[in-house]
Copies of this chain bind each other. A is one copy, B any other.
Amino acid sequence: MKGKFYGIGVGPGDPELITLKAVNILKDIDIVICPKSKKDKKSYAFEIAERYLGVKTEILKLEFPMVYDKEILSNKWKENAKIIFELLEKGKNIAFLTIGDPMVYSTYMYLMNILKNYDIEIETVPGVTSFCAMASKVNIPLASEDETLCILPLRKQMDNLDAILDAFDNIVIMKPSHDNVKLAEKIEKMDKLNDFVLTSKCGQLDEEISYDVNRLKEDIPYLSTVILKKRGLRENE
């Protein structure tokens, strides 16, 4: 019998914020894929999952190059998919890990889309997203009742940012370091801002939380997120 391919979200970083389903799959999995890196550093997702693996689990290191060239990427992903397919054919169950949720800005979805072309069973296990974890951390609601919520990576979104800031009740901006000064200036000009919060390295030891837009103008880590809220729940407070 062919093995099954699992895409597993391990949650936002806190090892306790993984789901029971992910833990139950990991303890019996035959092979877990670990991205090969230059310095032989373990991936963040692998570090979280490692403690939940069974003693018999094999670790398969595959190279997933961090480049923007679509052709190089696509060829490498196809090559990796072929390696995975051959192991699935031998009856091995295989897990690919992602931080957060597999369907929200992960690399898993590329592999999944290639593997969809093979005759195999794919199960994706959802996880807690970084933005949900961040909102819980600071006890600020992301969206309530009929409010709208938008999630946007800052890269390439600067052009229509004004329109988005205008149209949405709640805005989560990922990767604000891409153009943080300009973003801070735009936020300062918003006249209906109820809440602003910037978190960096959420859930990690050197986590930082700031409610001051000026902090956004300084150097901020790549792993930062901004939440903007125009309406609040003030009437109930």
Contacts and interface: CB of A to CB of B under 8 A. Distances in A.
Q: What is the count of identical protomers in the complex?
A: 2
B153 A150 contact: no
A143 interface: yes
Interface stretch (A29-37, A85-93, A112-120): A112-120
A132 B151 contact: no
Nearest to A25: B16
Contact of A150 (B105, B106, B168): B168
Nearest to A14: B21
A67 interface: no
Interface of A: 7, 9, 11-12, 14-21, 23-24, 70, 73-74, 77, 101-106, 109-110, 112-114, 116-117, 122, 124-129, 132-133, 135-137, 139-153, 155-157, 160, 163-164, 167-168, 233, 235-237
Contact of A157 (B140, B148, B160, B164): B148
A236 B77 contact: yes
A135 B77 contact: no
Given A128-B126, A136-B125, A141 B109 contact: yes
Contacts of A126: 12, 17, 128-129, 132-133, 135-136
Contact of A24 (B16, B104, B113, B135): B16
11 contacts: A9-B132, A9-B136, A12-B126, A14-B21, A17-B125, A19-B128, A101-B135, A106-B141, A129-B129, A146-B155, A150-B168
Contacts of A18: 19-20
A70 B149 CA distance: 22
Given A136-B103, A153-B145, A21 B16 contact: yes
